[in-house]
Structure 1
Amino acid sequence: MTISMSNQTAVTEFILLGFPGLQPIFFLPVSLTMFVAYIVSLIANSTVIILIILREQLHHPMYIIIANLALSDLLFDTITLPKIIAKYWFGAGSISFNWCFFQVFCVHNLGSLDSFIIMLMAIDRYVAICKPLRYHSIISNKLVTLLCYLCWVIASIIGLAITLNAVQLPYCGPNRVKSCFCSNAVLIILACIDASLERRKGFIIAICVHLFPLAVIVLSYILIIRVVHLSANNGNWQKAFYTCTTHLIVIGLYFIPRLFLYIISQAPVTLDADTNVLIISIFTFIPHFASPITFCLRTKKIRNILAQMFKSICPRSENKSGTLVKRHCTSIQFNVHEMPMYKNSL
């Protein structure tokens, strides 16, 4: 596990503990929960990406943004979840030094990317609702694609900066990571020297990365609610607000726990290790399989495409007199409220 270095030893691998206080009797249910979450995320996000790529009617700005969010979430889960599941199933909790810091890069890169992508989605909705007649002249596929590329580049730079901030420290003793994956915060505390300055640097970068997109999202939704409230009648106002709340729930689930942890990490209050890991897991993994449902299955075009796919897989049967007999599969109906201003973009 270690290699001798002058008067100290250098850590060559870390041990992922997951939930440090978890009793062995709960290993199976916890790991099965993670496995199910990964499979759902894998299927849901892969379906979204494939549909948006293959279906020409989905080649619109909003769906390009959604595809980028789905790809980010899919990569995040694939890089982190299989390792911690293997720890609980096979006792393979060790992770090499280089792979651990690769996880650090990916975690902060993709985490930052999610913030930027959700911000782009809020901006797209603002233009579609507040400036519907100018939507297609302002928002185009080319512009959105360029903005998404820019978000990937900026997020990669942020991930690299946070990784370099942590990897430059000497790790020569403790190597037990109290988390389900490697990240800047859980590794810096294992350094052999006082890393207060590095902790502050990481905190400042993380706060800026999340507060700026959150401020843009909040401002866009204030303007959206104001415009809808002033222009729509009571019935349409309720439908529009219902549609907005689905997005706001995912935003709250993603941003609030993360900002809470960042603030707590700088306060004298110390959270229980298992509570800390639970909060991290909630804000990290739940939005990854909730967002495809919230952002995609509630849109008319994707619902119609999925319905057509189910009909082609499960065709109806007819008897000799031409009347219908029992269907091979139960029909699925979606009854959600659509925002009137979105008919052109959805």
Structure 2
Amino acid sequence: NSTRLDHFTLLGFPGLHPQYYGPVSAVMFVVYLGIVFGNIFILAFVMYEKNIQKPTYLIFCHLALNDLTFGTLTLPKIIAKYWFDSSLLSFYGCFAQMFFVHYLGSVQSFNLMVMALDRLMSICIPLRYSAFISNPVVSGLCGIAWLIPLPVMMVTVFDALSLPFCKSNVIAQCYCDHISIVSQACSDRVPSVTLKALSLAMFCLLLPLVFIIFSYTSIFAVILKMSNAVGRRKSLSTCTPQIFVTCLFYLPRCFVYIATSTGFSFSLDFRIFIVLLYSLIPAAVNPLIYCFKTQDIKKCLFMKLQRARIGIEMRRSRE
């Protein structure tokens, strides 16, 4: 016997004692504020500063928009659960959240591939860089990165929607994802739906990852061959922000997949914590990486701070 559920309940951290609801939700709220203000700052700063509207920084904008959207679609609901005891999500609302969670993760993966391509062209064939990479080209590539996962994720969602649900309506997670939803279905099609979704997810994650590894391997090979130490340091410094951002996105995911495939089991609370770690921490940390590890943005910020300080001193001297 199967019934169509009308809502799902977010469990959050199942082992969390009520006395810790306040501190945990406060931490998540601070993380959300960091995501919102940090990524809006990057978007506004690049849009306002014409002299840094270059291909690399346009890619940063796409990454920032992705991080901002992901945080806004996931964190407010789990914060509301702990603040206002509001843990219910409508049936289709949960599926919509699942779609955006996996879609935005896939878009981020393809945008990181575009970023790796940008660095590959810049360092390996610098004389041809401007001929191949420009603002319109990067905008087009990032647009494709937003389009490719769209049909893939729609197939994943419609496959899950076609399943009958007769188990618990509790989502053992802080947001709706494919594994948590499909585990509540009762059908002999569940294994095939899960395998198909996993295959599509691997396409969206591993295909860009293979290109990213190839790109940075080629970049390091070129850097090591440079005879000029200053040139090596400069080339490496231009890749540092991209490498940090890429590692924050991929390393925790790879850890979870490898551990799961080798039979290593996590407690439910630890699994939820790891998922939140690789989903939300990069979104909050990335703006700091862009600002303090990117020379153009850092230089621009220091100049503005210097002008502001001089302006304050001039006003004080007039008074």
The alignment's TM-score, normalised by the length of structure 2, stands at 0.92
Q: Which amino acid aligns with 1:30?
A: V
Out of 154-163 and 194-203, give the one that drifted further: 154-163
Is residue 312 of structure 2 the alignment partner of residue 316 of structure 1?
Answer: yes
Kindly indicate whether the alpha-carbon contact (under 8 Å) linking 1:10 and 1:173 is maintained by their aligned counterparts in 2. Answer: no
Q: Which amino acid aligns with 1:104?
A: M
Deviation at 1:145? 0.9
Is residue 150 of structure 2 the alignment partner of residue 156 of structure 1?
Answer: yes
Deviation at 1:316? 3.2
Specify the alignment match of 1:209 in structure 2.
204
Pick one of 26, 29, 36 that aligns with 2:20. Answer: 26
- Paired with 1:319 and 1:173, the residues of 2 have a C-alpha distance of 69
Deviation at 1:9? 2.8
Q: Which runs of 5+ in 1 are unaligned?
A: 1-6, 325-346
Q: Which amino acid aligns with 1:106?
A: F
Pick one of 52, 55, 59 that aligns with 2:53. Answer: 59
- Paired with 1:46 and 1:309, the residues of 2 have a C-alpha distance of 18
Pick one of 11, 26, 40 that aligns with 1:17. Answer: 11
- Paired with 2:40 and 2:296, the residues of 1 have a C-alpha distance of 17
- Paired with 1:234 and 1:56, the residues of 2 have a C-alpha distance of 31
Local SS of the residue matching 1:179 = coil
Local SS of the residue matching 1:193 = coil
Specify the alignment match of 1:43 in structure 2.
37
Pick one of 115, 118, 130 that aligns with 1:136. Answer: 130
- Paired with 1:174 and 1:263, the residues of 2 have a C-alpha distance of 28
- Paired with 1:205 and 1:196, the residues of 2 have a C-alpha distance of 14
Query: Structure 2 matches for 1:274-293, cutoff 5 A?
Result: 274-293=269-288
Q: Which runs of 5+ in 2 are unaligned?
A: none
Specify the alignment match of 1:343 in structure 2.
none
- Paired with 2:44 and 2:152, the residues of 1 have a C-alpha distance of 28
Kindly indicate whether the alpha-carbon contact (under 8 Å) linking 1:108 and 1:158 is maintained by their aligned counterparts in 2. Answer: no
Local SS of the residue matching 1:10 = coil
- Paired with 2:135 and 2:128, the residues of 1 have a C-alpha distance of 15
Pick one of 234, 254, 259 that aligns with 1:259. Answer: 254
- Paired with 1:174 and 1:119, the residues of 2 have a C-alpha distance of 39
- Paired with 1:157 and 1:305, the residues of 2 have a C-alpha distance of 40
Seen in structure 2, the aligned counterparts of structure 1 residues 258 and 278 have a Cα distance that, compared at 3 Å, is: same
Local SS of the residue matching 2:312 = coil
Q: Which amino acid aligns with 1:96?
A: S
- Paired with 1:264 and 1:83, the residues of 2 have a C-alpha distance of 29
Q: Which amino acid aligns with 2:12?
A: G
After superposition, the C-alpha distances for 1:102-153 in whole angstroms (9 at most, x for unaligned) are 1111011100000011111111011111111111101011111111111111
Deviation at 1:158? 2.2
Seen in structure 2, the aligned counterparts of structure 1 residues 303 and 13 have a Cα distance that, compared at 3 Å, is: same
Local SS of the residue matching 1:95 = strand
Specify the alignment match of 1:328 in structure 2.
none
Deviation at 1:25? 1.6
Pick one of 55, 60, 66 that aligns with 1:72. Answer: 66
After superposition, the C-alpha distances for 1:46-74 in whole angstroms (9 at most, x for unaligned) are 01111122222122111111101100110
Percent identity, please: 36
Higher normalized helix content (fraction of residues): 2
Query: Structure 2 matches for 1:222-241, cutoff 5 A?
Result: 222-234=217-229, 236-238=231-233, 240-241=235-236
After superposition, the C-alpha distances for 1:60-94 in whole angstroms (9 at most, x for unaligned) are 11111110110011000000000000001111011
Q: Which amino acid aligns with 1:102?
A: A
Out of 136-145 and 156-165, give the one that drifted further: 156-165
Higher relative contact order (CA 8 A, sep 6+): 2
Is residue 100 of structure 2 the alignment partner of residue 106 of structure 1?
Answer: yes
The alignment's TM-score, normalised by the length of structure 1, stands at 0.85
Deviation at 1:238? 4.7
> How many residues are matched?
317
Pick one of 180, 184, 187 that aligns with 2:178. Answer: 184
Specify the alignment match of 2:297 in structure 1.
302
- Consecutive aligned runs of 4 or more in structure 1 exceeding 6 Å deviation: none
Seen in structure 2, the aligned counterparts of structure 1 residues 113 and 263 have a Cα distance that, compared at 3 Å, is: same
